[in-house]
Amino acid sequence: SQQGEEDPQALSIQEGENATMNCSYKTSINNLQWYRQNSGRGLVHLILIRSNEREKHSGRLRVTLDTSKKSSSLLITASRAADTASYFCATALTGGGNKLTFGTGTQLKVEL
């Protein structure tokens, strides 16, 4: 089974609204990362949050991590049509080196 599960699987919002995606995982981690994938392209790294961090910001992105609940959330504020993509969380397991286990992703559609 997948280490990371994103929720929701799909999300459709209007431009200017905020988008929130959630990720749950099962085992102890070194860090959790969020990636974005445009259709038919490779993944682009967005943000990395370490297991001892609770919140991190990058531009319009805000990521939180709750290791007690084994969950993370990605918030995109003031969304734009260009944010339309699939978003994946990935976990680096404790003792797993830099290998990542990816979730199944959230498909975000931002409409004009």
Partner 1 sequence: SQTIHQWPATLVQPVGSPLSLECTVEGTSNPNLYWYRQAAGRGLQLLFYSVGIGQISSEVPQNLSASRPQDRQFILSSKKLLLSDSGFYLCAWSAARGSGSNQPQHFGDGTRLSIL
The residues of the shown chain that bind partner 1, judged by CB under 8 A, are 2, 4, 30-31, 33, 35, 40-45, 48, 50, 88, 90, 92, 94-105
Give the SS3 label for residue 66: strand
Task: List the one residue out of 26, 24, 22 whose CA is nearest residue 7.
Answer: 22
Give the SS3 label for residue 55: strand
Among residues 5 and 15, whose Cβ is nearest to partner 1? Answer: 5
Among residues 13 and 47, whose Cβ is nearest to partner 1? Answer: 47
Q: Closest separation between CB of residue 89 and partner 1, Å?
A: 9
Among residues 17 and 97, whose Cβ is nearest to partner 1? Answer: 97
Q: What are phi and psi of 68, to 5 degrees?
A: -70, -30
